[in-house]
């Protein structure tokens, strides 16, 4: 798995990938079936409060990792994807 950040793409270590919430791919708004994708994603979110929690955990993790990658890039350090932000 690869994490795409504003600072580049980074491999996600297997131990981190195992801890990530299972969330369907976000809708591709440029796809011909974008409306259907959005509708399906909303149905998934509405199906369970746990789905909303998982989505928010994953979203927060992405934000934290993006910030950590930017800090590493600014300091000219290597960045390794971690589970920071998954709490």
Distance CA 5, CA 71 (A): 12
Q: Is the pTM here over 0.85, yes or no? A: yes
- CA–CA separation, 76 and 80 (whole Å): 13
3-class DSSP state for residue 16? helix
* Res. 87: pLDDT tops 90: no
pLDDT at 39 over 90: yes
Average pLDDT estimate for 24-40: 95
Minimal CA–CA distance to 61: which of 81, 35, 47? Answer: 81
């Amino acid at each position: 798995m690869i994490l795409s950040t504003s600072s580049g793409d980074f491999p996600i270590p297997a131990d981190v990938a195992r801890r990530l919430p299972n969330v369907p791919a976000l809708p591709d708004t440029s796809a011909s079936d974008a409306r259907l994708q959005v509708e399906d994603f909303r149905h998934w979110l509405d199906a369970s409060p746990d789905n909303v929690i998982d989505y928010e955990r994953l979203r927060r993790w992405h934000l934290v990792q993006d910030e950590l990658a930017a800090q590493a890039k600014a300091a000219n350090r290597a960045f390794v994807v971690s589970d920071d932000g998954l709490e």
